[in-house]
A and B are shown apart, each in its own frame.
Chain A
Amino acid sequence: MSLHKPEDDDQEIVRQACSGDTNAFEKLLTRHKRHVGAIAAAHVPASQVEDIAQEVFIKLYLGLSNIREKGSIKGWLAAVTIRTCYDFWRKQYRRNEIAESSLTTDQRNWIEQVISDETGQRLAEQREARQVLEAVLQKFGPEDRMVMELVYFQGHSVKETAGLLGWSSANVKIRTFRARKKLKKILAALREGINQ
């Protein structure tokens, strides 16, 4: 049985790319573009995926010598993609380009049904679920948004999230706690709107 790992191939390609072989770098790009694209698509709007992925691969090219020493390209790419997505949201919030969303009556009723303990599976399949998800995420700042997505929706541990975002575990814990608190506030405000 061969003990040859794809990471070994990556290391060889990185070595070639480091010496200025752009064709070798193209091999890396072809091999990892789906991985980077899938991560980006999970965190930013579809229209931004190409730009984010391009930025990530340019960072990869510029940081090749560091990766040569550190090892796993896949892990490095995942972390850099997440941080590039986070930077994207920071810029969006700084420019105030986040659309202020107000929920429709159907969406508010959907939330009400979820909160009042109805079978989640059926509700998750409804059209309103996606719209509510978007609306709720828009109400968070960039930090809370990334933490919500990584910890609650993608199921990463605090340690993994800290590694991906380049934060300390304590910071992730605090952010998670604050995001949860904010979600509670959002829900309370929505409920007040319904009851009024």
Chain B
Amino acid sequence: MKINNQAVNRLLKTLAPVYKAADTDPGQLGCKWQQDVMRRIRQMEPPQGQASFFQAVSRAAWKLAPVTAVLAIVCGVAAFNFDVVSEWQALDLMASVTDTVAYLDFLQ
């Protein structure tokens, strides 16, 4: 026999008061519990207030510092290995060289 929506509704309707009637008295949160919690709280640092804009920026900068350093090293190594000719150097050379074939050879 198939279970229909009515059967599900009936079960849920019957179980709802059972759930509500269950013992939800938090009587166990007594003095000893409170003392334990407060002991833990007192051992902790005071809660941090909302950080100012400059504090937030400075924290973010420090967090990003290792990544930036790694990127700088990678770029430096790449520039050294690939022997990159900067645009201004190329332009300077083009302006001074009259032999275009030699210039193109140089660029290659």
Residues of the A chain whose Cβ atoms lie less than 8 Å from the Cβ of B37: 29, 53-54, 57-58
Looking at chain A's contact residues, the main secondary structure is helix
The yes or no answer to B72 lying at the interface (CB within 8 A) is no
Residues of the B chain whose Cβ atoms lie less than 8 Å from the Cβ of A54: 33, 36-37, 40
The yes or no answer to A174 lying at the interface (CB within 8 A) is no
The yes or no answer to B66 lying at the interface (CB within 8 A) is no
The yes or no answer to B3 lying at the interface (CB within 8 A) is yes
Query: Number of contacting residues on B, CB 8 A?
Result: 38
Interface segment, one of B9-17, B85-93, B95-103: B9-17
The yes or no answer to A124 lying at the interface (CB within 8 A) is yes
In the complex, chain A residues 45-85 whose Cβ is within 8 Å of any chain B Cβ = 46, 49-50, 53-54, 57-58, 61-65, 69
In the complex where A58-B37, A114-B10, A188-B3 touch, is A124 in contact with B18 (Cβ < 8 A)?
Answer: yes
The yes or no answer to A115 lying at the interface (CB within 8 A) is yes
- Listed in ascending order, the chain B residues whose CB lies under 8 Å from chain A are 1-3, 5, 7-8, 10-20, 22-26, 28-29, 33-34, 36-38, 40-42, 44, 46-50
Cβ-closest 3 pairs across A and B: A37-B26, A20-B46, A153-B19
26 contacts between A and B (CB under 8 A): A18-B47, A20-B46, A26-B34, A29-B37, A33-B29, A37-B28, A37-B29, A38-B24, A38-B26, A41-B23, A41-B25, A41-B26, A46-B23, A53-B29, A58-B37, A58-B41, A61-B47, A114-B14, A120-B10, A124-B17, A124-B18, A129-B14, A129-B18, A149-B19, A155-B16, A184-B5
The yes or no answer to A191 lying at the interface (CB within 8 A) is yes
Looking at chain B's contact residues, the main secondary structure is helix
Of A30, A62, A191, the contact of B34 (CB 8 Å cutoff): A30
The yes or no answer to A25 lying at the interface (CB within 8 A) is yes
Interface segment, one of A2-10, A94-102, A130-138, A165-173: A130-138
